[in-house]
Amino acid sequence: MPKLLTAKSVEQLKPGVKRIEIPDGLLTGLYLVVQPSGAKSWAVRYRHTGKAKKLTLGPFPALEPDSKGQARRARRRSARLIAAMATKAARVVARFS
């Protein structure tokens, strides 16, 4: 089971040879991406029309996982945005079908 990501745990992560994605234990679909260069960013993984998609939310530490909950709030906002886009896309497809 994924662990809850905190600012301290994220700061302590060391980059590897390959890019890694670490899931957040609180919100499904929220990942911390750690690049081999050491750069860290937040991303949301989701499915749209059956295809896997990824939306990058922003860098760490600009978006922190806990103190102000910025990364988790951004993930919740992105979920609403993705749902709205899917609804709009479905209406467009229905109109031209």
Per-residue pLDDT tens digits for 20-55: 999 988 777 888 899 999 999 888 888 777 888 888
What residue has token string 């029309």? 49
Domains along the sequence of the chain with CATH: 7-96 (3.30.160.390)
Q: Decide: 77 and 29 in contact? Cβ < 8 Å.
A: no
Give the number of other Cβ atoms within 10 Å of residue 27's Cβ. 19
Closest CA to 46 of 32, 36, 56, 38: 56
- What average pLDDT does this structure show over 53-80? 70
pTM score, whole prediction: 0.68
> Rounded to a whole number, what is the largest CA-CA distance in the chain?
52
Q: How does DSSP classify residue 49?
A: T
Neighbours of 78 (CB within 10 A): 19
